[in-house]
Structure 1
């Protein structure tokens, strides 16, 4: 896995990425894009955990 969460500091995430640079610029750009997307997915997953309802019904405007 080229992207991983190293640690959390309060509401900050420290994410490490590893990118394999290729022989062509296009292939390198695609590799960079893939690992950045993976880092974004990890960050989004952690962000969503803040709003987990533990299976309870969600309330909007007290309803």
Structure 2
């Protein structure tokens, strides 16, 4: 989890940086071809992968 931020802007920059790295990893490693994104389960898997370092609630309703 992200901790010790002094501002929302600092948090947003960190979130953006990490999720861009994770999104590239999804593409480069072929993970996108392994998930059914047309169903909630697939979208939740992507959400969990991209944002798990930032939020506790990722992949949940």
- Which TM-score band (shorter chain)? 0.3 to 0.5
Higher relative contact order (CA 8 A, sep 6+): 2
Q: Which has the larger radius of gyration?
A: 1
